[in-house]
Amino acid sequence: MDGLSKYTALSLNLDSFGHATGTFPLENDPFWFQVLDLILEVLDTHKVKATIYVIGKDLQNQKIRERVKSLHLAGHEIGNHTYNHKQNFGVLEYEDTLLEIRNTHLAITSATGTGPVSFLAPAWNRNPHQSKILASLGYSNDSSIFGSPLMFLMNLKMAYNFVQKTLRNRELPRTYDLMSVFKRKDLCFNLLGSNYGNIRAQVIGNVFEPGVAQLPMTPYPWVLPYWFTLEFISEKLAEVAFSGILNQQYRYLLFHPADFANEEDLGEHANLKNHSLERFYVDKERYRELFERRIVSLKRDSSFVTMSELANQMSQ
Ligand SMILES: [Zn+2]
């Protein structure tokens, strides 16, 4: 690699439009096609590859399976983002957890011919069985830990958007199964982070398996995590958080298709107005430039790698 001492990975959480708006299965899902095209254009311009976390159920669609294969052939890493993206993944029993992880594992393996090794739970859940299951399937890394009080702020913001939309349209906006969010019990556990590894893991009833590197959003609960959606919440906060990750030797920039989409990108689905994705109604050109600026500054002192390469570098 270029002799640079830091490493950066790009983590794209490909939460499909069909999933995010509760309209799954959706033929010609815009996040998988039009919006992903925009993202790939930016990545190609800067000659960087991403780790793209996919929801297993999306791969029931033949065109999406082909897309996944071509992403893999283009050098992007395909990661496992569970089968149904359950918001309460953290409280699932062992059998259900296994199905959520294994079914996506099999779907990716059959689409690309290669077993995935990078995992990310939906909505930064922390499930006590996940590490053991990931280890048994040969995973090298897990980036499900958020580890910051910002998590509560983010949940409040989501609830606020939902209520505001409901009042404005006088009907419930289309979204994923929202009630399952309230079944989560791990929000506080997540705050403990993974920095003290097994001690904290024992305390919260989660066991980290050796061999599965933990890649938390932020290494310490008092360091603000940076993920691109933060730019839409507060640019000032995002600036502080971004300067924080610039100092880290191993870091990743997490982003979503919704960060790049606006109504025109939805094609035949643009008539679906009543959904809870608020980031659609802003100047996307500006955010795209901002994203590119972030990539350029991360490139200044680091080599770009995939999430699994990042985990490898960390364990050397
Ligand atoms: Zn997701």
In the reported structure, the alpha carbon of residue 248 is separated from the centroid of ligand 1 by a whole-number distance in angstroms of 24
The DSSP string of 192-246 is T-STTHHHHHHHTT--PPTTSEE--SSSSTTSPP-BTTHHHH-HHHHHHHHHHHH
What pLDDT does 203 receive? Answer: 47
How confident is the model over 41-63, as a mean pLDDT? Answer: 97
Q: Tell me which residue of 39, 17, 43 sits closest to 30, measured CA to CA.
A: 17
Instruction: Give yes or no for residue 210 having a pLDDT over 90.
Output: no
In the reported structure, the alpha carbon of residue 35 is separated from the centroid of ligand 1 by a whole-number distance in angstroms of 16
What pLDDT does 287 receive? Answer: 92
What pLDDT does 311 receive? Answer: 93
Looking at every residue in the chain, the average pLDDT score rounds to 86
In the reported structure, the alpha carbon of residue 40 is separated from the centroid of ligand 1 by a whole-number distance in angstroms of 19
- How would residue 199 be classed by pLDDT, with cut points 50, 70 and 90? very low
What residues are paired with 304 via a beta bridge? 8
What pLDDT does 276 receive? Answer: 62
Answering whether pTM is above 0.85, one says yes
Instruction: Give yes or no for residue 48 having a pLDDT over 80.
Output: yes
In the reported structure, the alpha carbon of residue 19 is separated from the centroid of ligand 1 by a whole-number distance in angstroms of 9
User: Helix, strand, coil proportions of the chain in percent (round to 5)?
Assistant: 50, 10, 40
In the reported structure, the alpha carbon of residue 4 is separated from the centroid of ligand 1 by a whole-number distance in angstroms of 31
In the reported structure, the alpha carbon of residue 303 is separated from the centroid of ligand 1 by a whole-number distance in angstroms of 26
How confident is the model over 87-109, as a mean pLDDT? Answer: 95
Instruction: Give yes or no for residue 78 having a pLDDT over 90.
Output: yes
In the reported structure, the alpha carbon of residue 82 is separated from the centroid of ligand 1 by a whole-number distance in angstroms of 9
Lowest-confidence pick of 103-107, 186-190, 260-264, 290-294? 186-190
By three-state DSSP, how is residue 254 classified? strand
Instruction: Give yes or no for residue 118 having a pLDDT over 50.
Output: yes
In the reported structure, the alpha carbon of residue 177 is separated from the centroid of ligand 1 by a whole-number distance in angstroms of 13
The HSE-up count of residue 155 (CA atoms within 13 Å, CB side) is 18
In the reported structure, the alpha carbon of residue 3 is separated from the centroid of ligand 1 by a whole-number distance in angstroms of 33
In the reported structure, the alpha carbon of residue 15 is separated from the centroid of ligand 1 by a whole-number distance in angstroms of 5
In the reported structure, the alpha carbon of residue 184 is separated from the centroid of ligand 1 by a whole-number distance in angstroms of 15
Instruction: Give yes or no for residue 90 having a pLDDT over 50.
Output: yes
How confident is the model over 36-53, as a mean pLDDT? Answer: 97
In the reported structure, the alpha carbon of residue 2 is separated from the centroid of ligand 1 by a whole-number distance in angstroms of 32
Question: 262 CB contacts (<8 Å, ≥6 apart)?
Answer: 280, 281, 282, 284
- How would residue 161 be classed by pLDDT, with cut points 50, 70 and 90? confident
**End-to-end CA, the chain:** 15
Instruction: Give yes or no for residue 72 having a pLDDT over 60.
Output: yes
What pLDDT does 150 receive? Answer: 75
User: Over pLDDT 70: what percentage of the chain?
Assistant: 85
In the reported structure, the alpha carbon of residue 84 is separated from the centroid of ligand 1 by a whole-number distance in angstroms of 10
Please give the residue that has the higher pLDDT: either 89 or 104: 104
In the reported structure, the alpha carbon of residue 32 is separated from the centroid of ligand 1 by a whole-number distance in angstroms of 14
What are the structural domains, with CATH classification, of the chain? Answer: 6-315 (3.20.20.370)
Can you say whether the dihedral through the CA atoms of 126, 8, 141, 69 is positive or negative? positive
| Burial 271-305, CB ≥16 within 10 A → b, else e | ebeebbbbbbeeebeebbeebeebbeebbeebbbb
In the reported structure, the alpha carbon of residue 67 is separated from the centroid of ligand 1 by a whole-number distance in angstroms of 18
What pLDDT does 197 receive? Answer: 45
Please give the residue that has the higher pLDDT: either 239 or 165: 239
